[in-house]
Structure 1
């Protein structure tokens, strides 16, 4: 009787152990499926809008590492920035140098032949012809050409400075012109003599506002 009960107990224990062995392989599969569902319940979450931008690939929250730059293939050199062209610099344009022969010539200031004190900017001129030839004279802008006989004189009154007087011998000879301040205020006396060479000849006289008298 005892032996019969022991056999039945052994069969029952064997049946229980066999059932456990059959169900054990299914437990890890069920656990794996459950963990997969919890990790990524929606595999297309990044391809179908809307989705959370904070979990986009490459963001710090998503945990996805952005792709690294691809190095150039063997035999290909990496791009090199262009070198600056020599002399290609931005600078202010400089003015061209002026050579000595291009500089304007400054004429030395002529020394006045005489100086008089003007009266209210006016001057009286006495022309004295000490030659035997007739002289033609003109006050530029004031009078027409006039004649002065040899061994004679004429006075031009109240000429406003600056004033220019021209003169010429009718026989085409040269004249030596000598201006000199008169004893009368605001008066100038001009004497004409015959010149022996052309270098001594003068043909014009100018009186400036300051009373300076120049011959040409």
Structure 2
């Protein structure tokens, strides 16, 4: 008798909603299990690094952010940094602790001289959603050129360069 009461027209919509949502939920459970069962090789936490407690994506060509991309021999002298804007966009840069924010126009060049190391330089395109690729080029003792180019690859996007006290150059 109770079963017949459940099947009346009034309760049919409620019963359909309950059964439908149950079936829908059951199809999602196996998908969630599959998605979690494959470890991502790009996450440091999957590699068992004890030093990294937070999973961080490694970035393609810059696989090891602790590896320098260049060595600038400055013989304990101030350095000269030239930024070459090869984009069709203005770039804002700042030598942290030495300059305020400055602009380089499209296709322009800027040089900062007599900069003591260690030093950090930050840069961003004026259309902030646009990505920036940086190719460092050591010109001579204490001189480095940063070629700033457009990229569509997120793994190549760079927003800062650091020269440490030994002259090693890092991109971040």
Q: 1:179 and 2:124 equivalent? A: no
CA deviation map 1:110-133 (0-9, x unaligned): 110111101424210010000110
Report SS of the residue matched to 2:106. Answer: coil
Instruction: Please list the CA deviations of residues 142-201 of structure 1 after superposition, one character each: whole Å capped at 9, or x if unmatched.
Output: 11000000111011101000000000000121100011110x321001000001122210
Aligned to 1:205: 161
Match among 81, 98, 106 for residue 51 of structure 2: 106
Instruction: Identify the structure with the greater strand proportion.
Output: 2
TM (normalized to structure 1)?
0.49
Distance 2:102 2:127 in 1: 15
2:97 counterpart SS class: coil
Instruction: Name the counterpart of 1:8.
Output: none
- TM-score, with normalisation over the residues of structure 2? 0.61
Q: What's the secondary structure of 2:146's corresponding residue?
A: strand
Looking at structure 2, the residues matched to 200 and 209 of structure 1 have their Cα atoms a distance apart, in angstroms, of 25
Aligned residue number for residue 106 of structure 2: 150
Q: What whole-Å deviation, never above 9, does each CA across 1:85-138 have from its counterpart, x for those lacking one?
A: xxxxxxxxxxxxxxxxxxx93267711011110142421001000011000000
After the TM superposition, which of the residue ranges 157-166 and 192-201 deviates more from structure 2?
192-201
The question of whether the paired residues in 2 share the 8 Å contact of 1:121 and 1:209 is answered with no
Structure 2 residue ranges without an equivalent (≥5): 1-48, 53-63
More displaced 10-residue stretch of structure 1: 116-125 or 197-206? 116-125
The residue number in structure 2 matching 1:189 is 145
Match of 1:140 among 76, 96, 113: 96
Aligned residues, how many?
112
Q: Is 1:166 equivalent to 2:111 in the alignment?
A: no
**Aligned-pair RMSD on alpha carbons?**
1.6
Q: Where do 4+ consecutive residues of structure 1 move more than 6 Å? A: none
CA–CA separation in structure 1 for the residues paired with 2:82 and 2:154: 24
Q: Structure 2 CA distance, aligned partners of 1:148 and 1:109?
A: 26
